[in-house]
Structure 1
Amino acid sequence: MLEIERKFLVLSSAYREKATSKERIVQGFLNTHPERTVRVRIKGDKGFLTVKGKSNTAGTSRFEWEKEIAVQEAEALLPFCEKGIIAKFRYEVAVGSHVFEVDEFEGDNEGLVVAEIELSSETESFKKPDWLGKEVTGEVKYYNSQLGKNPYKSWKK
């Protein structure tokens, strides 16, 4: 139940050519306390309830528990979420022996494209594709739980 992940900005749309899947995600947060977040997500025709703990200092690992729930239950919970429902398209892209999840955000976060990779250890090496940009692991403003409160369109460029 430990999630180890790194997050990067994306430089181009070249990942789309290699994507093995594309799915729309709508999600909200029932709780965005710094010590824990509780997320409701609809991904395709499935619902999920996820609890995440506080990240370590580097932002690379944290506790994560996820349970699949009926999509109707997720739809019923979304109105109870804090302000700032997030919508995005997620592409899965195999690179070497890993899979990057590339999120293209919509709405108030349109223009933001972020890639995440889950690892088995914090020191695990992985191949970096040409479209991968600056690492933003641990930068709180890129957390989905914060994008609802402080959307990308409101950032000073």
Structure 2
Amino acid sequence: MNTIKISRITIKDLLLLRKISIQTFTETFTATNSAENLAAYVQDKLNLEQLTFEISNPNSQFYIAYANDEAVGYIKLNFDDAQTERIAGNTLEVHRIYVSQAFHGKKIGQLLLDKALQIGKDSGVGSIWLGVWEENHKAIQFYTKNGFVIFDKHDFMMGNDKQTDLLMKLNI
């Protein structure tokens, strides 16, 4: 097993963030979405301008998981007004959590989620929540195993395809 290190990243890591974001997103959703919708999402949400905006927001934090010195996954956390939905109470959103396909099953996702849980506890939030595509059964199973429960849903646009994300929450 590779040595895994999780590090907070800053604007100086923007190109690495963009690379790992596009790689892991396309690996995750290529088989279940059209190439056009995938390309539209990447162009709209994972471009340098958008990622610069997100990484510069003081209420968002990005962490990259490294196996030896290779970036193999990342997580984006949102506090306060950076969150994509208004959820009652003092909450933390796991906005994105993705792992390179070559590292699935190697506990990278668990380490990233554990990092989010620790940050949530350290910051005093009452719960952590996230949205997960209703067709991503593997991810739903992972979050359920970690104690998350479905509490709502919202729309997610993948290009011109309106999809449904299940909102899941864990009280901590």
TM-score, normalized by length of structure 1? 0.32
- Between the two structures, name the one with larger relative contact order (CA 8 Å, sep ≥ 6): 1
Higher helix share: 2
Higher strand share: 1
